Structure 1
Amino acid sequence: MTDKKKFTASFSTGKDCTLAIYKAIKAGYEPAGLITTRNTDGKIAWFHQLPQDVLDRLSDSIGIPIVLMLTGGKDYEKNFQDRLLKMKESGAKLCVFGDIDIQAHKDWGEALCRSCGLEPLYPLWGMSRRQAVEEFIESGFKARITAVDTTKMNRAYLGEAITPKLIEKLEQDNVDVCGENGEYHTIVTDGPIFKKPLEITFGSEEFDGRYATLSVM
């Protein structure tokens, strides 16, 4: 396929967006750069907030530029729109999202893309949640749990690898296997879009009364 359409993506470094990026590449699109965000106001519990050196190593591992967007919740939409416009100037025609079935999230992404003249792409949309996590595993990706909502699941899941056995355990504990409602969050460390694995270690565990998170180094 010549003259591949370039895309950017809303990239949390987790499993769903990574699978969506992989499916977009398989469909013939070319990544121009990925957008990841970091909360600056300290009032909203955003996850996947990796240190810059980990993001740099991840970018090197996948061979795709990762652009860090610093923003507070109040200015999130405007700042994301500005970043999309810059990616458009760099040649992006589409923006990929990893949403599966939450309509409000899809509506938001579609409206944002329309405002920037970009085409939204949702490669996972309409899949069952189990189907999405199974395809992630079967495609050869590896991921670890870095955050859990302790009102929805046991904090003992922190650090666990995403495997078929873990999926069975989540089902036994009546936890959504995909974590689509924020039950848990992951970091992907290897898989078919990786040129080399991302080597990470876990540091301290933090708990704010609801969310338990592991620092990633």
Structure 2
Amino acid sequence: MSKPRAAVSWSGGKDSYLALNRARQQFDVAALITMFTEDGTRSRSHGLRPEVLQRQAELLQLELLPGRGSWQSYEAEFKRLLRELHDRQFSHVVFGDIFLDDHKHWVERVCTETALIAVEPLWEQPTSQLLLEFLNLGGEAHIVAIKAALLDESWLGRPLSAELLPEFEKLGIDPCGEYGEYHTLVTASPLFTAPLTITDIGHHLHDGYWMLDIVLAS
């Protein structure tokens, strides 16, 4: 019996990777979906360039379906992507939420309104265990965005590791950054056909976050 066809809401970070990895056991994961700014130059979630996320999709051997919109038009554009998935015989969409109820309720609603089923493989899992699961799977990721009110610029570019857990605890940071304290970019994993080779060309402050400007290595 064939598996149901699913897409993954993809940020490029560890949580969406973990959700993808878990979902593969139950679903035929065939695409990634990512929302970008209106001009298409940065992802809405992590401020990443589209070519970086496209390269991740290629390394995962998956199609990337991009959407563009302002925060005001975000829902309408996201639902356009969902309707496209439905028209292409997808039945499920996988998300990497852990314990943010408002976002979980939102994705369940927009999926229901477009005749799709939202799947939350990480829901209510202990975040320290999820971080270790990602690392134990052989995943590698780097911190590419931090909330400026909580962390200083020295955190940018740091590789994710188990050694960060006591530092996170001391600072009151959720191990997975579930409250938006930090965001990551997956640079290597068993599901990638090769490592993601990138270069940091600087950083900037945007909407209260320090963000690395990441480009593909030449």
TM-score of the superposed pair, with normalisation by structure 2 = 0.91
* Greater displacement, 137-146 / 48-57: 48-57
Q: Percent identity at matched positions?
A: 32
- What is the rounded CA distance, in whole Å, between the counterparts of 2:206 and 2:91 in structure 1? 40
1:91 Cα deviation (Å)?
A: 1.9
> What secondary structure does 1:134 align onto?
helix
1:30 Cα deviation (Å)?
A: 1.3
> What secondary structure does 1:72 align onto?
coil
The correspondence for 2:84, drawn from 61, 72, 86, is 86
Tell me what 2:169 maps to. Answer: 171
1:75 Cα deviation (Å)?
A: 0.9
- What is the rounded CA distance, in whole Å, between the counterparts of 2:35 and 2:86 in structure 1? 18
User: RMSD of the alignment, in Å?
Assistant: 1.8
> What secondary structure does 2:187 align onto?
strand
Superposed counterparts of 1:23-42, under 5 Å: 23-25=22-24, 27-40=25-38
Unaligned runs of 5+ in 2: none
- What is the rounded CA distance, in whole Å, between the counterparts of 2:83 and 2:206 in structure 1? 35
Unaligned runs of 5+ in 1: none
Misfit runs of 4+, over 3 Å: none
Tell me what 1:12 maps to. Answer: 11
Equivalent residue pairs, number? 213
Tell me what 2:210 maps to. Answer: 212
Give the letter for the 2:151 counterpart. Answer: M
1:209 Cα deviation (Å)?
A: 7.5
TM-score of the superposed pair, with normalisation by structure 1 = 0.92
The answer to whether the 8 Å contact 1:32/1:91 transfers is no
- What is the rounded CA distance, in whole Å, between the counterparts of 1:172 and 1:111 in structure 2? 37
- What is the rounded CA distance, in whole Å, between the counterparts of 2:64 and 2:134 in structure 1? 21
Tell me what 1:135 maps to. Answer: 133
- What is the rounded CA distance, in whole Å, between the counterparts of 2:80 and 2:207 in structure 1? 34
> What secondary structure does 1:81 align onto?
helix
- What is the rounded CA distance, in whole Å, between the counterparts of 2:97 and 2:191 in structure 1? 19
1:71 Cα deviation (Å)?
A: 0.8
1:49 Cα deviation (Å)?
A: 2.9
- What is the rounded CA distance, in whole Å, between the counterparts of 2:114 and 2:209 in structure 1? 34
- What is the rounded CA distance, in whole Å, between the counterparts of 2:77 and 2:207 in structure 1? 30
